[in-house]
A and B are shown apart, each in its own frame.
Chain A
Amino acid sequence: MTVLAPANEAELAEAVADAAAARSPLEIRGGGTRAALGRPVQAEKTLSTAGLSGISLYEPGALTLVVKAGTPVAEVEAALGAQGQMLPFEPMDHRALLGTEGEPTIGGAVACGVSGPRRIQAGACRDSMLGVRFVNGRGEVIKSGGRVMKNVTGYDLPKLICGSYGTLGVISEISFKVLPKPEAEATLVCDGMDAGGAVEALARAMGSPFGITGAAHDGQAALVRIEGLAGSVTYRTGQLQNLLGAQWRVLEGTESAGRWRAVRDVTALTGEIGGGGAIWRLSVKPSDGPAAVAAIQKNLEAEAVYDWAGGLVWLRVPEAGDAGAGIVRAEIAARGGHATLIRAADPTRAGVEVFQPEPAPLARIARGLRAKFDPEGILNPGKMG
């Protein structure tokens, strides 16, 4: 397997232009820790963005960070942390769930549209993106957006690039809005609560004025996170205890942080059942989460954990046959939302629709966009269908 490793954006553009001229498909790779997402790619060459690394500009006073795509997420978080700031969208680390190694890159997180528990309050990865530079399938360097907080100058291509799994362009640089790191955090925990009761309680918390930044059920307990200035966290924790009930105990500091890291990375499902286990990710109306899971469990052995107040459901099911695709998708079709197969062996992922099939007019638009951005079909071909 040939690996192309451009050292800068110009080399990246040249590599893609060459591949386009030769109609030679490329598998786009950041740190490789999320390479197993999407459908398997058939490509002769791998194009690595690891050489495009480093922070181009960081202005804490403007809450702005511009960073090259191959920069490790850990490096980005360390640089922000040194100034008491953070990425708002709390990107998940997929290594435990996917059993991968290597360093997750910021470009990979954006390409896969990865967000964590704070998504319910601070927005998703796409919401933090102020601008992007990418190389399209013709080898042209394209910039869209910028590095300012508000920008409606032309179409919002950063949104389109986020979550496009490298199929519309190879990201070279991203600018983000960042946020101050909260001075304090606390978590209210209700042990032994079932998912249905938890999602109801989480909705009550989310409907309060107390600025919840995490609302999850990790299989064991319902969890509500509060972050901010120390006095404010104490106040809101108390108010939420009044609202939810005295059985909700309080975790603070590193204990709280550790619990949310586990939620973010779905560590509750990282073990295996029966020597295998496929993982599904369901995105549904939050109050639908538990009922959808209960319906699926009538036909399929499945374990579930919930984030985003119930709107994000992780399911572990046996990998036999279609990994439960028929059952899961039928349930989703009846309720709205979508289901993505996150973890399964290559033959399974090649055989079932990894992403939820879209209605015909939207699928046509998606195909049209791919054809415009990547006319030769060389960027991660087949990854998204």
Chain B
Amino acid sequence: MKPAHGVWALILFLIIAHQDIWFWDDTTLVFGFLPVALAYHACISLAAAFTWYLATRFCWPSDQAPSAQGRDTA
């Protein structure tokens, strides 16, 4: 399997994992202060950042070189 296919599979997994019906009525407070519904979805955000990092490495849609026309800013 090509790395790009793995990344797209990971993105699909994230979308499925986002539908966490298993935590729907769970009142657990993670670390005593973070409701589990919130903690789980904060972890989804972290996982999304990592997945998108992989996507920029293995699924980059452009082969354009940086342009020299605009003046560089930050």
A and B held together in a complex = no
Residues of B within 8 A of A (CB): none
Residues of A within 8 A of B (CB): none
